[in-house]
């Protein structure tokens, strides 16, 4: 890390001089900042090696901290994954040992996180001044680049970069079973994210079947899990002792995005001779969670949508009994609801939903918008897991596997008036409501519009601020 010294003869008191590792002298003037609304823009220009590197610090104060510790110089010596010339030799030495390589990757990632936090300490006036700023943007430009690169810090501390009009993660980690990434196991990559994380981290998972259980704990928000396709990147496990213990994938943290991969509990899926047991493929309990083109495969209790606001788009959920259950406040848009009722005992119908709303004032409920219900055997649309269960199917294509009665009261016979089970504008052979149970709700247009709009799960704009 370079030392900062005052430039002799300059009239700008905020211009400093630095010497880079090759002893080239560069000038670092403090910039005049510009404020737009609640956002302060601080320009950073980076030119080719050997020419000037200009860094403009917040508010033009010229304040800076002490010399960075030796840990940062160690990070430079490591070359951060071989990307720097002097790190390539070190990288080649450890490439033959997977375990050592993963340990070294963890060390480099930890040092990178430390460097990242430290950079903000050196170039901010005070912690109080930063706390008073709702948001901050730092713009980067480099000689020869067409699009500027921008890093943004929102008021709640989430960091991301902007390339042109795209938001991208601040850090990228690659998982590859073949050993050509940072890690060979997905959970190891999740473990490498520090507790109390505030920065969007993209964990890119290469194609393959990963036999492991995954858990994103409460204290690791802002994680993106991205595979290479629902049929290409698959996570499989077969626990079934208890509902709570069985999930192949558990997400407890807020602000999680999952894309283009599948989770399967293989105890009963694919169909086999094992006795039917609750066996969860995924359990989602964090707030502000989004799934895009994700597959969930099981038989009973496939997707445990436990609590929080969730958005599922173009996903596939497969099962037969209560295979979408929980007390989440969730919108399922253009999802495929695949019923495998043929795996049940002869003559036994299945149930798609078992929603768990416990109070008439609770905001949660399941909304299926423009989805497709299909499969084999027969199924009810749902039954109430709790007394105030709420489910709406909106403009959904229903095949003839749907039972004519549509819904079942389960343990709440005599309390059906508390339950909100509704259909609106559905079509297909199974959408005929003439034989539906009499206690289904006829929702007014205003309620239907409210429940099927994004405001049902997002009244504050969190979907717009997530990296997607």
Residue recorded with tokens 């005049």: 32
pLDDT for position 257: 97
- CATH homologous superfamily for the domain 320-459: Single-stranded right-handed beta-helix, Pectin lyase-like (2.160.20.10)
Q: What six digits make up the tokens of 98?
A: 């997977």
Q: What b/e readout covers 346-359, taking b as 16+ CB neighbours within 10 angstroms?
A: eeebbbbbbbbbee
- As a dihedral over the C-alpha atoms of residue 10, residue 11, residue 14, residue 20, rounded to 10 degrees, the angle is -10
pLDDT for position 31: 40
CA atoms within 13 A of residue 55's CA, in its CB half-sphere? 16
pLDDT along the chain (468 residues), means of 10: 40 42 41 38 35 39 46 47 44 54 65 54 38 33 35 44 64 94 97 92 97 98 97 97 96 98 98 95 98 98 98 98 98 98 95 98 98 98 98 98 98 97 98 97 97 97 83
The number of beta carbons lying within 10 Å of the beta carbon of residue 178 is: 9
**287, 305, 322, 458: the active-site residue:** 322
pLDDT for position 171: 86
pLDDT for position 160: 59
Q: What six digits make up the tokens of 348?
A: 């036994």
Q: Using CB atoms within 10 A of its CB, is residue 239 exposed (0-12), middle (13-18) or buried (19+)?
A: middle
Residue 432 among the catalytic residues: no
pLDDT for position 104: 67
* pTM score over 0.85: no
pLDDT for position 100: 64
> Residues 18, 24, 29, CA angle at the centre, nearest 5°?
35
> Residues 65, 193, 150, CA angle at the centre, nearest 5°?
60
Sketch the domain layout of the chain as residue ranges: 1-64+136-157, 320-459
Q: Where are the beta strands (DSSP E) in 245-382?
A: 249-251, 256-265, 282-284, 289-297, 303-305, 309-313, 316-319, 321-326, 329-333, 336-340, 350-355, 365-369, 372-376, 379-382
**Of 308, 282, 319, the residue nearest 363 (C-alpha):** 308
């Amino acid at each position: 890390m370079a030392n900062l010294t005052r430039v002799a003869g300059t009239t700008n008191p905020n211009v400093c001089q630095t010497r880079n590792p090759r002893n080239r002298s560069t000038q670092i003037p403090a910039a005049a900042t510009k404020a737009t609304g609640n956002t302060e823009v601080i320009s950073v220009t980076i030119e080719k090696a050997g020419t000037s590197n200009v860094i403009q610090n917040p508010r033009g104060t010229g304040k800076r901290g002490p010399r960075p510790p030796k840990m940062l110089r160690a990070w430079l010596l490591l070359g951060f994954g071989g990307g720097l010339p002097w790190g390539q030799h070190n990288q080649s030495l450890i490439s033959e040992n997977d375990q050592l390589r993963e340990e070294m990757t963890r060390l480099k990632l930890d040092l990178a996180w430390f460097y990242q936090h430290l950079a903000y300490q050196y170039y901010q006036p005070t912690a109080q001044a930063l706390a008073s700023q709702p948001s901050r943007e730092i713009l980067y430009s480099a000689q020869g680049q067409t699009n500027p690169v921008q890093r943004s810090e929102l008021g709640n501390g989430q960091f991301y970069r902007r390339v042109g009009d795209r938001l991208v993660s601040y850090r990228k980690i690659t998982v590859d079973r073949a050993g050509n990434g940072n890690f060979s196991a997905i959970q190891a990559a999740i473990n490498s994210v520090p507790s109390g994380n505030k920065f969007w981290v993209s964990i890119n998972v290469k194609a393959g079947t990963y036999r492991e259980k995954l858990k994103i704990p409460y204290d690791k928000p802002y994680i993106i899990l991205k595979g290479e396709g629902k049929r290409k990147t698959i996570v499989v496990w077969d626990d079934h002792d208890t509902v709570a213990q069985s999930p192949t994938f558990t997400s407890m943290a807020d602000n999680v995005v999952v894309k283009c991969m599948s989770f399967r509990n293989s105890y009963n899926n694919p169909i086999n001779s094992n006795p039917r047991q609750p066996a969860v493929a995924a359990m989602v309990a964090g707030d502000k969670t989004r799934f895009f083109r994700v597959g969930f495969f099981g038989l009973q209790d496939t997707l445990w949508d436990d609590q929080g606001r969730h958005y599922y788009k173009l996903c596939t959920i497969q099962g037969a009994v209560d295979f979408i259950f929980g007390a989440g406040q969730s919108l399922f848009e253009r999802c495929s609801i695949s019923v495998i009722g043929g795996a049940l005992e002869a003559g036994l119908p299945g149930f798609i939903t078992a929603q768990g709303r416990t109070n008439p004032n609770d905001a949660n409920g399941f909304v299926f918008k423009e989805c497709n219900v299909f499969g084999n055997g027969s199924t009810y649309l749902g039954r109430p897991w709790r007394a105030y269960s709420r489910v709406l199917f909106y403009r959904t294509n229903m095949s003839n596997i749907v039972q004519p009665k549509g819904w079942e009261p389960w343990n709440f016979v005599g309390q059906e008036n508390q339950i909100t089970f509704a259909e609106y504008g559905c079509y297909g052979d199974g959408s005929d409501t003439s034989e539906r149970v009499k206690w289904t709700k006829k929702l007014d247009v205003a309620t239907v519009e409210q429940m099927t709009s994004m405001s049902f799960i997002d009244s504050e704009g969190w979907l717009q601020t997530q990296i997607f």
